[in-house]
Amino acid sequence: MGHKVHPNAFRLGVFRPWEANWFANPKDYTKMLHEDLEMRRVILGRLRNAGIAKIETERSSNAQLTVTIHTAKPGIVIGKGGSSVDQLREDLEKKFGNRVRISIQEIKQPELDAQLVAENIASQIERRISYKRAMKQAILRTMRSGAKGVRIYCGGRLRGAEMARREWDREGRVPLHTLRANIDFGRATAKTTFGAIGVKCWIYKDQMAPLRKQGVAADGAPIAEIAPQPEIVEAPPEPQAAVAAPVEATAAPAAAEPARRTRTTAAPKPKADAADKPARAPRPKAAPKTQAAAEKKAPAKKAPSRAKGAATPKDKS
């Protein structure tokens, strides 16, 4: 936590490839590494206004060097009739002594490339445009192009202030700790009369799908194939039907289980109990008759008591 890690280097090997693809012996590694760095300096210095986002290098076994230039302005790199590319290739071959092959790839959406966005903001600051306005406009264009999040950072003597400070602005979300997040990072430097101003840009495009590692069996068929979810749901009823069929087939020839048969015949007993209940139904009807008779008899017993009570006052009189 708190350590600043380069977003591109943090995702190398997860889904982002290396910009230099070659293998060298320990003795030649230092020489080839400095050749790559010097080659990038030469190309960027010559094609400063061509909108170059990145340069990829690849070395083959026959001492041939392939350079891929990703640019937003391929017309400037190629030149009239390819003269600019041919001149650049000849200069690189003379300087490094290897056969050089140059391929150019166009960037169709420069608003979604962090390096180009950072260079655009730096060039506006050099032309004395307000850094806040440049940042706001860059964020607006990037979000309109389909990005899910942008973050731009400027640091230095902003507006010629005596004390350097840092200003940043963000829109959307930029999950730097998510390895699957496709985050593009770029930085540029604006060289002004009152000092250098650094510009950094993070652009969150979308989450990348994880790479599935499948094993290979002896016959060449993949091992780690996962069936889709609907097939898993429909699979259970088939084995149940297959199991039920042999159970019915084995139940017919099995004659050595009398106990189970008696249990099945004993099952209808509750049905007989249910049949007895309607036979007992008239009994509660007789009960209310006895209660009604008892109620009728009760006033007959109370009548003589009332008569006795009525006779006593007469005797007193």
Return the residue matching tokens 């009548």.
Answer: 303
Residue 120 gets which letter from DSSP? H
Q: What is the pLDDT of residues 206-233, one digit of tens each?
A: 998 765 555 555 555 555 444 444 544 4
How deeply is 172 buried, as exposed, middle or buried, from its count of CB atoms within 10 A (0-12, 13-18, 19+)?
middle
Q: Binning pLDDT at 50, 70 and 90, where does residue 97 land? A: confident
Distance CA 267, CA 149 (A): 71
Residue 63 gets which letter from DSSP? S
| Cα dihedral across residues 100, 101, 104, 105: positive or negative | negative
Percent of the chain scored above 70 by pLDDT? 65
First-to-final CA distance of the chain: 117
Distance CA 127, CA 136 (A): 16
Distance CA 99, CA 66 (A): 8
- Any alpha helices (H) in 26-130, and if so which ranges? 26-46, 74-78, 83-96, 114-126
Question: In whole angstroms, how far apart are CA 76 and each of 96, 183, 215, 268?
Answer: 24, 28, 47, 96
Specify the DSSP element, H or E, that contains 111. Answer: none
Q: Binning pLDDT at 50, 70 and 90, where does residue 244 land? A: very low
Q: Binning pLDDT at 50, 70 and 90, where does residue 61 land? A: confident
Decide the pairing of beta strands 52-59 and 20-21. parallel
Residues 6+ apart with CB under 8 A from 185: 6, 7, 8, 114, 200, 201, 202, 203
pLDDT at 251: 45
